[in-house]
Amino acid sequence: MDFELKTLSAADAAPSRTDALIVLVQLESKPGRDALSRWVSDAVKAQDFEPRAGKLLAAYRPAGFGATRVLAAGIGDGSAKSVRQAVAAAVGSLKGSPARKITVLFPAAPAAGAVRAAVLAAADASYVYTTTRGKADGRKLERVTIGVPDAATQQQFFDQARGTVAGVELAKEWGNRPANHATPTLLADAAQSLARRGSGVQCEVLGPREVAKLGMGSFMAVARGSEEPLRFIVLKYQGAPKAAAPVVLVGKGITFDTGGISIKPAAEMDEMKFDMCGAASVLGVFKALSEIRPAVNVIGLIPACENMPDGRSLKPGDVVTSMSGQTIEVLNTDAEGRLILCDALSYAERFKPAAVIDIATLTGACVIALGGVRSGLFSSNDALATALQAAGEVALDPCWRMPLDDEYAEGLKSNFADVANVAGRAAGAVTAAKFLQRFTGSLTWAHLDIAGTAWKGGAAKGSTGRPVGLLLEYLLAQVGVSQPAVRAVRVRQRA
C-alpha cells in the first residue's frame, strides 16, 4: 500500500476524485466557507454529527463532491490518540467496500504526532493477513493520501510513519504465520532478506555448531527437544560512525511454545505460535531502519527455536550451564523464554552497547498484571526507563514500569544450581525479569514483557506489530529526529 502526503485545503479536496474522502473534524473548529466545510457544519448544526473521537458520518456520492464516498470523522480534541481512533473507525468502515484510493484530510494544522497516528491507523485498519489463506483476497486499499495545510512541516514525520508501517507489517506477518510456516530457519531467512544490498542492514546467522562453540548451554537445552535446528540471528544496522556505541535489541524467538515436558493445556495453545513476537518486532524495527535511515547504530539479536516435548527434551530438575558460566536449575521447562534470552544477553556484551533492550512474550503473569493495554517495562536504569516510557506515550504504544527490588529474587534460589528458572506464582512477571537481570552484568538494560500486547485473541486474533512503534520512537529520539512531543517530555524530565 502506498502513502502520499500533499498540501490540500478543504476547498481543494471537495472536487478531487477519490474513492473516499475522509475529513477529520475537531470539536469546536471554525468551519470554512467551502462546500466540504459547510456539509460538515450543516450536519453538526442539525445534530446528525458530533465531532467526538470515533464518531462518523458517511454519504454516498453527495452532490457537489468529486469523491464517491465522503466521510466526516470526529477527532474531538485533535490529539494523536483521537486521530488514531477516528481514522481506525473511518478506514475500518470502508473495509468491505471497493474503495482503493482514499484521502484523509486534516483541514487544520495537525497536532504533534497526529499525521503519524493517521498513517499507522489507516494501515492497521486495512491490514489483511493472506500468506496461508489460500485464495483469500488481500488488502483492497491501494493508496492513502494524507492532506494537510502545509505538507513541508509534516514531511519528516510522514516519512518516519511510512517506514514504521513497513516495520509493523513485517512484524505482523511473522507473528501471524503458523509455526510450521515460521520455523527458526524461515525466521533466519527473513532476517537475511532484510540485508539486501543498499539496505544498510547486515545479517549473520549462527547454527547449532556455532552456538555450541559460544557455550550457549541454556539456549541449546531448550532447542534439544525439537527436530527443527535452532538459529541465532545477528542483525546490524549502521547509521552512525562505527565508533558510536550501538543499541542492542534482543527478541525472544520461540517459534512455538508447547511448554516442553512441563506441557501446556490444549486450550488456546495455538496462540503460542505468537511466542516469537519479540523476534518479529526486532525484524520489524530493522525493516523500518532500512527505510528511515536514521543516524544510529543498532544490533538485533534473535535466539530462535521451538520448545517441544520429546525423548531428548530438557526435563524438570535438569541443570544447564549458561554462556555466562552460571548454572541454572530448570524447575519448569515452560519458563523457556528466559533460558534462551539469558545467553543472548551474555552475547550482547561484546558490542559494548549504549543500551540493551530485550523484548519478549515472557509471562502470562504480565497479561494478568497489565492486560493488553501496556507492555511491562523493567529496568535497572532510570534514564533508560524514562526514555522508553516517554517513547511509548508518543508512539501510542505505551508501557508501564514495574519494580525490580532484590527481594523479588528470593524465590529463584536453588539447592542444585546458581539459580532456578522459576520462583513461585506471585509476581511472576517480576521474578522472570529478576532472572534476566542476573545476566546483564554492567549493561544498561531494559526488558519489555509484551505477552499481553503483541497479539490479540478471540475473533480479532492476530499480531498487533507492537512494540515496533515504541522501539522506533526510542531510537529516533536518540538522534533527535522524533516527534516534538517526545523532546518536550525529555526536556521536562531533565529540568
| CA gap 326, 135 in Å, rounded | 51
- Give the residue, chosen from 175, 200, 246, 337, that forms a contact with Zn ion under the rule CB under 5 A: 337
Helix or strand or coil: residue 281?
helix
Prior bond to 110 cis, omega within 30? Answer: no
Site string for ligand BES, 227-266 (x = CB under 6 A): ------------------------------x---------
Block residue for cell numbers 514504521: 164
Beta bridge partners of 146: 5, 104
Neighbours of 156 (CB within 10 A): 15
Tell how far CA 192 is from the center of its chain: 20
Question: 20 contacts which partner out of Mn ion, Zn ion, ligand BES, none, CB within 5 to 8 A by kind?
Answer: none
Q: How far is the CB of 219 from Mn ion (least distance, A)?
A: 14
Instruction: Write the interaction track for ligand BES spanning residues 357-376; mark x where CB under 6 A is met and - where it is not.
Output: ----xxxxx-x---------
In the shown chain, the binding pattern of residues 428 to 467 toward ligand BES, with x for contact by CB under 6 A and - for none, equals x----------------------x----------------
CA separation for the pair 34, 322 (Å, rounded): 69
Q: Which residues contact 93 (CB under 8 A, 6 or more apart)?
A: 56, 58, 71
Considering the complex, what minimum distance in angstroms separates the CB of residue 142 from ligand BES?
A: 35
Half-sphere exposure of 448 (CA within 13 A, CB side): 34
CA 22/CA 57 separation, integer angstroms: 10
- Whether 359 and 250 have beta carbons less than 8 Å apart is answered as yes
340 CB-contact burial (10 Å; exposed 0-12 / middle 13-18 / buried 19+): buried
Residues 305-334 close enough to bind Mn ion by CB under 5 A = 334
Q: Of residues 124, 169, 173, 275, which one binds ligand BES by CB under 6 A? A: 275
Decide whether 5 or 432 has the Cβ nearer to ligand BES: 432
**d(C-alpha 205, C-alpha 194), whole Å:** 13
User: Number of residues in contact with ligand BES, rule: CB under 6 A?
Assistant: 16
Find the shortest distance in angstroms from Cβ 179 to Mn ion: 14
Residue 380, phi then psi, degrees to nearest 5: -90, 0
Site mask, Zn ion, residues 249-288, x = CB under 5 A? -----x--x-----------------x-------------
Question: To the nearest whole angstrom, how small is the minimum distance from the Cβ of residue 272 to Zn ion?
Answer: 7
Separation CA 394–CA 489 (nearest Å): 9
Asked if 336 touches ligand BES (CB under 6 A), the answer is yes
Our CB check for Zn ion shows the closer of 288 and 448 to be 448
Q: Cβ 334 to Mn ion, closest distance in Å? A: 4
User: What is the DSSP secondary structure assignment for residue 81, as one 8-state letter?
Assistant: H
**Residue (89 or 331) nearer to ligand BES, CB:** 331
| In the complex, minimum distance from the CB of residue 337 to Mn ion, in angstroms, rounded to a whole number | 6
**Rounded-to-integer distance, Cα 462 and Cα 41, Å:** 38
- Binding partner of 428, given ligand BES, Zn ion, Mn ion, none, CB within 5-8 angstroms per partner class: ligand BES
Residues that bind Mn ion (CB under 5 A): 257, 334, 336
Residues that bind ligand BES (CB under 6 A): 257, 275, 332, 334-337, 361-365, 367, 422, 428, 451
